[in-house]
A and B are shown apart, each in its own frame.
Chain A
């Protein structure tokens, strides 16, 4: 049996580009993104997978980067808010967030946008109930949620 290594090479696709990093097993994904790649759009808040501020998409699926280890990215695709925003396809959702005042302090917003993107990828015409249910794991302490629901609805309509 080979001795388990103390560091791991992580080769993955980050916002569409192939990248590599060496991490320790206990390094959470968020630390690799923020500290190795300088992608500080991903925010740490509750640190217990409740609030969603650290949401990134791993092969298109939302995960809590505060807890998912960095090594889980091996061979997979990670999308952060920076990659999302750089993609023209994001503009209906971004504009809907602007038009509906769906952000205030902006700390939850990166995670909120990625959760909303993942919802609209899965269901381009979600009902209000579906939006609330899908997004219930993303906390916003500023807006009161109503305007985010309206923004997602508007983006869904714009995408049709």
Chain B
């Protein structure tokens, strides 16, 4: 039997949301009108750490047009705390505030102007507590801890005999690297509308994980899952910032108080006090032999999770998982700790813990290569894990040939033939490399439903939130391919918990792989039913039937799928239903093993340093993306380029600046994100389709790989250009200049 050629898989199809998004018709949560909706404004703490001694909302409540004011006193007949791993976040501050900007009261009013006026009338008194800012202060036991202690989570693992390996190796290197707090800046700040009703709770919200929000709200308010409807319209960018549960519990409690629907749309300032990426410090000791063999690595690190845990547990773990790097090592010891500080709670952000870990890992790899007099590229290749080897003992072995991927990027970049070329005086050019693998996919659990209609069209039901990644188009492609119908005949209904079946989450690069499998299986379920109907029609065996382009054929005769469905129901209408369940048992248990797949990241950078000013220009950046199978190649590139551009932000200028617990730059004037003019002259994604992912057609996720290698490859390029190693991000001109100045390498 010849292999069937794909009809839509592998094609850059027109996105199913193109017409909506290019006409202004696409609806985001903030565009919705719910009848009777009140508007919410928050009263937030000006202090980063304080006991609340009094909250008096009586003047605000007395203001005409105010429906309700929520304070901790109203959190009765419900659970009061939420959180994904640790339920330490109160719905609204209770007795104590732990970061500047924490909501202390929330007003629901007839309009925003009234709500704003009422906010001024809420009297709150505080007893100020000493502030814990940054990792060092969190480690200092003398101050008032943020919670019972400042330790949120501890993590570690070990294999081999690390101490003996360090005793026996030729050289030991120890270096520490710092990664700043950064903010996602999803352009749509968090927005949520909740209608709390006697028999149900309805939420429209900018959430990545609608079913996790549903479960959290049901638990907090004592409802059954079927009484909580979570609808996620188009999401204006997520990148992790809208994962798990954010403002939904507060708005639900306020709606309950107000007796009507309530909308809260955060400002950027408020969103920057809602979630951010963990700042991190990683210290790596590496033992090597003189021939360049790495024999041991000991990684110790801290992540700053801010005022509450949010995703601090998992980030602490992934930071630890990802720090040793994709190298074959007989002896590894990792210990990481998540720490509470008085700052915005830190949650998921594209490749949780990944950029922080690989910044440390890959910067140090260059340090060692240089000290050993080896080419940093060859030093990496020498120590890489090989295909089928375990990156992490006991976890899924790496799928794919890393060395091949590294060499492809090096070739396309021109690593070996590169020369700095002529530069103006004081300007130095260099190249840098970095690579990493990240354990992705979160949990292997998704479900999907496909309805096949009596006119030959189909509707696919998925829980995935559409936040730009294009999952709806990919799912339509997979369904069309497996149903053997044109792409244009498939519609996708997504992320409404009353309409679509359960999915765990939209994140961790998991949707194409896991929801993709569920859709794939649901479509095949229908195709099998169609083949059975066709077999009946032709009086043949199902396996003798050919199915293509909406028709079933047998021995030169064909019949439309639509006719088969109509006939089954007596001629007038009807439809088929297909289901797809993805569980750890899927594919004979192949998904059960920890780490659904390994996402590969490789970066090669050419940079130019103005040694007089410290300004670094990224001239060229090459990244790799291995989607296993690129179901929509343009979207794959888009994921990689977008991730790399976000990384250009944290590499060069993004940093949330805190002083004594006060956020100094809570706006886009002072928090600088990348713009068009930051785009390097060459900004390339090298696409490799290794076909070995666990998803449909060998696909695997690519949403996060592009973000992890930019910073280390740029710092390595700066080192290559100037001989100066910078171990703290972002690489602002001032920081680079100071490093050059100290090393005596500045011009002028």
Contact = CB atoms under 8 A, between A and B. Distances in A.
Whether A and B touch directly in their complex, counting CB atoms under 8 A apart, is answered as yes
Contacts of B268: 45-48
A107 B189 CA distance: 10
A144 B668 contact: no
A153 interface: no
B677 interface: yes
B107 to A, nearest CB: 19
Given A98-B15, A132-B679, A105 B24 contact: no
A65 interface: no
Nearest to B469: A104
B576 to A, nearest CB: 31
A19 B669 CA distance: 34
Interface string A30-68: 000010000111111111101101000000000000000
A149 B676 contact: yes
- Interface secondary structure of A, over-half rule: loop
Interface string B722-746: 0000000000000000000000000
Interface stretch (B60-68, B128-136, B642-650): B642-650
A106 B669 contact: no
Contact of A105 (B27, B188, B675): B188
Nearest to A39: B24
Interface stretch (A6-14, A69-77, A135-143): A135-143
Nearest to B20: A106
B152 interface: no
A101 B638 contact: yes
B24 A110 contact: yes
Contacts of B58: none
A139 B672 CA distance: 11
Contact of B28 (A94, A107, A132, A138): A107
A108 B18 CA distance: 14
Interface in B215-241: 234-239
Interface in A99-117: 99-101, 103-110, 113
A41 B638 contact: no
How many chain B residues sit at the interface, stated as a range, is: 35 or more
Contacts of A94: 22
Interface string B1-45: 000000000001011011011111111101100000000000000
A157 interface: no
B185 A141 contact: yes
Contacts of B46: none
Nearest to B23: A85
A80 B187 CA distance: 19
A23 interface: no
Given A40-B27, A41-B23, A139-B187, A105 B467 contact: yes
B275 to A, nearest CB: 15
Contacts of B550: none
A150 to B, nearest CB: 10
Contacts of B22: 85, 94, 97-98, 103, 106, 109, 113
B237 A141 contact: yes
B668 A48 contact: yes
Contacts of A47: 267-268
B708 to A, nearest CB: 15
B90 interface: no
A82 interface: yes
Given A48-B668, A145-B679, A85 B468 contact: no
Contact of B679 (A42, A104, A105, A144): A144
A39 B27 CA distance: 11
Contacts of A106: 17, 20-22, 26, 234, 236, 468
B675 A137 contact: yes
Interface in A122-149: 131-133, 135-149
A139 B302 CA distance: 32
A81 interface: yes
Interface in B681-729: 683
A1 B668 CA distance: 41
A142 B673 CA distance: 12
Nearest to B635: A101
Given A45-B268, A47-B268, A141 B239 contact: yes
Contacts of A45: 187-189, 236, 268
Contacts of A135: 676
**Residue from the set B17, B26, B235, B674 with the largest chain A CB neighbour count within 10 Å:** B26
B638 A144 contact: yes
A141 B24 contact: no
Contact of B645 (A39, A80, A145): A145
B186 A40 contact: no
B340 to A, nearest CB: 28
A19 to B, nearest CB: 17
A145 B676 contact: yes
B641 interface: yes
A98 B18 CA distance: 7
A146 B22 CA distance: 18
B637 interface: yes
B470 interface: yes
B369 to A, nearest CB: 29
A50 B676 contact: no
Contacts of B679: 132, 144-146, 149
A46 to B, nearest CB: 4
Contacts of B528: none
Contacts of A46: 268, 667-668
Given A136-B676, A139-B675, A144-B644, A43 B187 contact: yes
Interface in B629-679: 634-635, 637-638, 641-646, 667-669, 673-679
Nearest to B17: A106
B676 A138 contact: yes
Contacts of A132: 676-677, 679
Interface in B189-216: 189
A7 to B, nearest CB: 14
B656 to A, nearest CB: 15
Contacts of B646: 141
Given A144-B644, A145-B676, A145-B679, A41 B188 contact: no
B237 to A, nearest CB: 4
A144 B635 contact: no
A43 B676 contact: no
A106 B268 CA distance: 18
Interface in B576-624: none
Contacts of A139: 185, 187, 668, 673, 675
B115 to A, nearest CB: 14
B637 A101 contact: yes
B676 A104 contact: no
B645 A43 contact: no
Interface of A: 34, 39-48, 50-51, 53, 80-82, 85, 94, 97-101, 103-110, 113, 131-133, 135-149
5 contacts: A40-B31, A101-B638, A106-B26, A144-B683, A146-B641
Task: List 5 A-B pairs, minimum CB-CB distance, nearest first.
Answer: A41-B24, A105-B468, A104-B468, A107-B236, A144-B641
